[in-house]
Structures are given as C-alpha cells and as structure tokens.
C-alpha cells in the first residue's frame, strides 16, 4: 500500500481538492447537533478527486463519503471500486467494504485483499470451509503466508479439528522470524480445542521466546490460573511487572488472582483467535510505521471482536500519530467501561482535547475523571501533565504532589511521577526540590528502561551543568546517558554543553553538530551550537545558528538573549569550569558506507 502525505485536518486539504470543490461542490453542512457533516460532490469527477485527496490525508471518513457516491455514479469502474474498498475497510465501514469485496471478487477472483476480507467475514459467520478456500486465493508474500496460514489454522480450530489446526500452524516451522506468532497461536488453538498438554508446551515455548510481550504473558498467566496453578500464574505476571511496572492489565490480573477470583481465558473460540491474530499483525504494522496496513488489520480484527480492548487502544494510537485526535477519541470511547485499560484511554481522551486546542474540554474531562476515580494516581498525573504542557509549572508540581501522596511507598513504576514533579519544580525555579525529585526518579527508574534512565540522567546533569554545579558527576552522567540513547539529540546537546562549560569548545562543536543533525529544529541546540562556533572564531556560522534558533520558537526569556547575541555577539570568554577526571574525547570509528 502506498505511503501518502498525511494532512492534519480537512481544513488543510490542498489546492487540488479546492479546485475540484469549485467545479463540483462537495460541501460540509451542520447537522442538528451543530457538527460538521460532509456532503458528496455533484459530479463523478468531483467525488473521485475529493476521495483521492481525502485518502491521501488518511481521512477515511471523508474518503468513504466521496467514494460511496462515486461508485453509485460509475458502478462498473473497477479501479474506482478497488480504491473505495480500501477506504471502506480503513474506515471500518464493513457493510460497504464487504459489498465492494464481493463485487471485486466476482469481477476478478485474484483480488487478494478482497479475498482476504471475505475470508475474515466467513470466519465471523462460522463458514470455515469457505474461509479456507478464500485464504488459499488471498494475498501472497512472506508475511501474507504467516497471516493466511494462521487464519487457516483457526478455521480448522473452528471446525473442531485441533490436530489439523496444529499441523497447519507447524507449516511455519522453517520461518524462525515467525516463531513467536507460531507458538503463541498454537498454544491458543490447543487450549481452545481441548489439548491442555500441547497448550502448555506451546505456551512455555512462546513465553521463553518473548517474556516481555503483554499478550503472551497474559494468555499464559490465564492458562495457568485455569489449571489451578495460581502461584505460577502470579510469578509470570510479577516477572512482567518487574520489567514494565504498573501495566493495568497485569495489575488487574494479579489483584484478581490474589483475591481468589477466576481469570477467564484470553481466547475462547475461533473468532476470538482470529481477532487476536489480526490485532497482533496490526501492532506490527503500527510499529513499522505502516499506518494504513495497521488500520486495516485492526478494523478486520474488531469486526470479529468489537470489544477487543487492546485492538481499540492500538487503533486509537495510530490515529493519534496521524494527528486525527477526534477520531482517536471516538475509538477510545468504544473501549468497554470495565476494561483495565479504559481509564488509560480516558486519560488519552483528555490529552487529545488539549492537543486539539480544546483546553477547557481537557480540564473538564480530567476533573470529571478525577471525581470518578479520586484515588487513581494516573488520573491525577494526567491533570498535572496538562498543566505542565501549559507551562503552569507551580500548579503542575502541586498536582504531582497530590499523586505522590496517594501512592504511599514508591515503586519503580512511579519514577515518572518524581521526574515530572522534579521538572516542574525546576521550571518553577525551586531547584532544591527539583534536584531531590530527579535523584529519586533516577533511583526508581528500572535498569531495563534505558530510555527513561537516559532522560532522567540528562535532565539532572544538564541542570547541574547549566548552573556550573557538580561538573565531574554531570559529565559522567551525560556520557552514560549518551551510551543509553545514542540517537537522542537533546542528550547529545547536553554533553556538548558540558564541554562548552569546561572551555573545551572544539569538543563542544563536535557534539553539538551531532545534536543539530539529529534534532535540527530545536531552538536550544541551535543556540548552543552558535555559542560554540563563536568561541572558536566561526562567527558568521554562529550568527547563522542564532538566527535559526530565533526562528525555532524559543521561549521569550531565551529569545531576548538570542537577539542580543545576534546584534552584539558573545561577551568576553568565560572562565572554564574545572572538571577533574574528564577523559579526552576518543576519535570516532570510521563510518561504513551509508553510516
């Protein structure tokens, strides 16, 4: 599927659509509730152009409106039908998508995606033989083989043929890249078809292969609990909690087990198993940045299991990344109220209101959520995050303080609270409190969360450097942070700034140039590089960097300083800050081609 330019909203549609609008008049009108509703254009050309551009913007709702009308006007146009089919699938308009798939299949039996969608619909309707037939004609390729093979296995499970289902899964044995998918779904299939010994063997293999995958951990824990092995199930969940603390699904499962209540299996039938597969493939697409493929897999999975909470969360995440925050919120609102991840989704809804510029809605939503969940630390933290994003740092620190008081004895997963409160204190000019919180955050952040530890080290060490404090310790901390996050421009900037403070300007330039390359639009990094250039006599380049910093939206206080430097340059060279035991920079390893 092609990668197309993503636009932020319908208001940003390019000139092509605007020209089409003038000729053929697609329009937006208000409904009774005052919401904007798209109306189709008055001509085939206008609808096609409008649908094409909306599809390019990943605005699947608009594309669906225009394609639906275009098909009515030109029902025999196969290219139009194929484009419309993809838009319907991506929008979750399943009746439209299935009708289009049936027509495409009738016109061209080799249309892979149409056959695939129809196979999923057949699984939903428990027509397993029909599903297998269509899967044999569906998409080709290495990942397609994974998808079709595992879906076929689930059709055999639906037909109560567990032996054939497992034999089908094992066709993938020669593909080591598919090991986790293979063993995980083999385990689920064996469990659903009443083969607990095989299920346990496969669950163990999947778990040993990837202990940090939530769905594997949750399914295995539920399987052990169903077999009456509560302690083993708790051990599996607690091991995950050590690595990724406080995940609501894991914490809810542990609480349920500790209270002696039953845990239902993650998958109980073939439809749910197929939905689980499609969810997993959607996660892969999302991770790889292939939004359209991810959306289609997730929509098909949700057609099989509409309340699949993690599929809804992932789909909402995709729309957030596309900056379609209203659509993300509509998806999050579909998550069942009793799901462990519902509160997290409600927090995301409030955050998205803030990103859409609906600040009052964001506050009202989060305050309502706090009234409903007065002891929920994550909800209180979310309100602090909104305050912090508005630069109300003193208020944010107070809100984080409330959250920290709720937690009692801090656990590793609470590092983020101390980090956020510390950064708020620092911005509110309360350094002593900030320093204590940042040190506490570093103490709590798990060793396995390297990016988190790097961020905390960076903030604390940079603050020291900026105040000419603890330079030795700061330098060591920044060197370690760069090792943990070698592609983080902000952290490399901090290391460069430490060199600058020590008067090692050539070293500072080297690091700051790396930082600018990684994060070219950051005002602070460009400002720092300008300072370093000036100190080594590259004054024209220094003014260029300061000018770039000026145009990169710096805070007002920094903008005043930057403008002064552009006019007058830097004052007399400061006395370097002494630092003991700071190693001389090592020469970089030669880059390989393409490095």
Per residue in 486-496, pLDDT (tens digit) is 999 999 999 99
Nearest residue to 148 via CA among 168, 167, 166, 124: 168
* Two tokens, residue 497: 């700034």
* Two tokens, residue 112: 């892979």
> Angle 71-328-383 (CA atoms, 0-180°, nearest 5)?
165
Q: Is 495 exposed, middle or buried (0-12, 13-18, 19+ CB in 10 A)?
A: buried
13 in the Ramachandran plot: left (φ > 0), alpha (ψ -120 to 50) or beta? beta
The answer to the question of residue 367 being in a domain is no
The answer to the question of residue 167 being in a domain is no
Name the domain count of the chain: 2
**How high is the pLDDT of residue 392?**
92
The answer to the question of residue 567 being in a domain is yes
User: Mind listing the pLDDT tens digit for each residue in 327-336?
Assistant: 999 999 999 9
**Cα–Cα dist 595/589, whole Å:** 11
27 bridge partner residues: 39
DSSP 3-state percent helix, strand, coil across the chain (nearest 5): 70, 0, 30
Query: Which residues make Cβ contacts (< 8 Å) with residue 451, sequence separation at least 6?
Result: 484, 485, 488
Nearest residue to 51 via CA among 111, 10, 94: 10
**What is the per-residue DSSP string for 535-570?**
HTT-HHHHHHHHHHHHTT---HHHHHHHHHHHHH--
DSSP letter at 408? S
CB atoms within 10 A of CB 519: 17
Asked if 158 and 188 touch (Cβ cutoff 8 Å), the reply is no
Helices and strands (DSSP H and E) totals, the chain: 31, 2
Domain CATH for 29:
1.25.40
* Phi, psi (rounded to 5 degrees) for 27: -140, 160
User: Mind listing the pLDDT tens digit for each residue in 422-451?
Assistant: 999 999 999 999 999 999 999 999 888 898
Of 108, 138, 169, the residue that ends a domain is: 108
553 in the Ramachandran plot: left (φ > 0), alpha (ψ -120 to 50) or beta? left
CA distances for 150 relative to 135, 189, 216, angstroms: 10, 10, 16
Crossing angle of helices 556-568 and 539-550, in 10° steps, is 150
Asked if 150 and 175 touch (Cβ cutoff 8 Å), the reply is no
Asked if 80 and 48 touch (Cβ cutoff 8 Å), the reply is yes
pLDDT in tens, the chain (595 residues): 222 222 233 333 344 444 444 344 444 444 444 455 567 666 777 777 777 777 677 777 877 878 787 787 777 788 888 888 999 999 999 999 999 999 998 887 778 899 999 999 999 999 999 999 999 876 555 556 889 999 999 999 999 999 999 999 999 987 777 888 999 999 999 999 999 999 999 999 999 998 989 999 999 999 999 999 999 999 999 999 988 888 999 999 999 999 999 999 999 999 999 999 999 999 999 888 889 999 999 999 999 999 999 999 999 999 999 999 999 999 999 999 999 999 999 999 999 999 999 988 998 999 899 899 888 999 999 999 999 988 999 999 999 999 999 998 998 889 999 999 999 999 999 999 999 999 999 999 988 889 899 999 999 999 998 898 998 899 999 999 999 999 999 999 999 999 999 899 999 999 999 999 999 999 999 999 999 999 999 999 999 999 999 999 998 999 999 999 999 999 877 666 644 444 433 333 323 333 2
Of 67, 86, 108, the residue that ends a domain is: 108
CB atoms within 10 A of CB 520: 12
The answer to the question of residue 489 being in a domain is yes
User: Mind listing the pLDDT tens digit for each residue in 244-291?
Assistant: 888 999 999 999 999 999 999 999 999 999 999 999 999 999 888 889
Domain CATH for 503:
1.25.40.10
**How high is the pLDDT of residue 36?**
55
Nearest residue to 88 via CA among 303, 308, 408, 255: 303
The answer to the question of residue 35 being in a domain is yes
The answer to the question of residue 40 being in a domain is yes
**Cα–Cα dist 321/334, whole Å:** 19
The answer to the question of residue 236 being in a domain is no
Is the entire prediction scored with pTM above 0.85? no
**How high is the pLDDT of residue 441?**
96
Pairing of strands 36-39, 27-30: antiparallel
378-383 CB contacts, 8 Å cutoff, 24+ apart: 378/343, 378/344, 378/347, 379/343, 379/346, 379/347, 380/406, 381/416, 381/417, 381/420, 382/347, 382/350, 382/351
The answer to the question of residue 341 being in a domain is no
Of 66, 85, 108, the residue that ends a domain is: 108
Q: Which domain holds residue 524?
A: 461-595
């Amino acid at each position: 599927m092609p990668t197309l330019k993503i636009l932020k909203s319908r208001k940003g549609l390019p000139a092509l659509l605007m020209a089409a609008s003038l000729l053929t008049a697609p329009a937006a009108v208000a409904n009774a509730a005052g919401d904007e509703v798209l109306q189709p254009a008055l001509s085939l050309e206008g609808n096609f152009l409008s649908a094409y551009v909306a599809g390019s913007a990943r605005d699947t709702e608009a594309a669906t409106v225009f394609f639906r009308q275009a098909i009515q006007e030109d029902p025999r146009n196969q290219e139009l039908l194929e484009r419309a089919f993809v838009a319907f699938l991506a929008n979750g308009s399943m009746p439209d998508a299935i009708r289009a798939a049936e027509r495409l299949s009738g016109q061209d039996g080799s249309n892979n995606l149409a056959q695939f969608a129809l196979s999923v619909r057949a699984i939903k309707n428990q027509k397993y033989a029909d599903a297998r037939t269509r899967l044999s004609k569906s998409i080709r390729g290495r990942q397609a083989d994974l998808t079709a093979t595992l879906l076929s296995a689930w059709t055999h499970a639906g037909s109560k043929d567990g032996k054939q289902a497992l034999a089908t899964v094992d066709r993938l044995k020669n593909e080591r890249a598919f090991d986790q998918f293979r063993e995980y779904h083999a385990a689920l299939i064996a469990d659903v078809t009443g083969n607990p010994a095989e299920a346990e063997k496969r669950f163990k293999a999947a778990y040993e292969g990837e202990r940090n995958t939530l769905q594997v951990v949750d399914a295995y824990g539920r399987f052990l609990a169903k077999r009456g092995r509560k302690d083993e199930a708790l051990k599996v969940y607690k091991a995950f909690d050590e690595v990724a603390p406080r995940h609501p699904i894991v914490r809810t499962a542990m609480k349920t087990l500790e209270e002696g209540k039953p845990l239902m299996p993650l998958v109980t039938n073939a439809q749910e198993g197929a939905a689980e597969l499609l969810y997993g493939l959607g996660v892969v697409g999302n991770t790889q940045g292939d939004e359209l493929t991810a959306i289609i897999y997730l929509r098909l999975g949700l057609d099989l299991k509409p309340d699949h909470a993690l599929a809804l969360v992932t789909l909402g995440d995709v729309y957030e990344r596309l900056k379609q925050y209203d659509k993300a919120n509509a998806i999050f609102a579909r998550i069942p109220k009793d799901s462990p991840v519902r509160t997290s989704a409600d927090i995301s809804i409030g955050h998205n209101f803030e990103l859409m510029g609906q600040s009052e809605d964001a506050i009202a939503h989060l305050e309502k959520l706090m009234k409903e969940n007065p002891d929920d630390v994550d909800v209180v933290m979310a309100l602090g995050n909104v305050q912090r994003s508005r630069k109300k740092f003193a208020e944010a620190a107070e809100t984080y303080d409330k959250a920290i008081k709720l937690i009692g004895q801090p656990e590793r997963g609470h590092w983020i609270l101390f980090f956020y409160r510390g950064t708020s204190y620092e911005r509110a000019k309360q350094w002593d409190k900030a320093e204590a919180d940042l040190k506490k955050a570093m103490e709590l952040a798990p060793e396995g969360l390297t990016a988190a530890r790097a961020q905390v080290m960076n903030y604390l060490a940079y603050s020291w450097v900026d105040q000419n404090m603890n330079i030795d310790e700061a330098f060591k901390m920044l060197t370690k942070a760069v090792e943990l996050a070698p592609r983080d421009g902000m952290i490399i900037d901090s290391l460069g700034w430490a060199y600058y403070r020590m008067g090692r300007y050539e070293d500072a330039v080297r690091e700051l140039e790396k930082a600018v390359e990684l994060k070219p639009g950051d005002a602070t990094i460009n400002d720092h590089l300008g300072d370093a250039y000036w100190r080594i006599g590259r004054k024209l380049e220094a003014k260029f960097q300061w000018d770039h910093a000026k145009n990169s939206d710096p805070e007002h206080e920094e903008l005043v300083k930057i403008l002064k430097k552009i006019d007058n340059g830097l004052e007399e060279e400061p006395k370097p800050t002494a630092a003991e035991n700071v190693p001389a920079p090592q020469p970089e390893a030669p880059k390989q081609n393409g490095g």
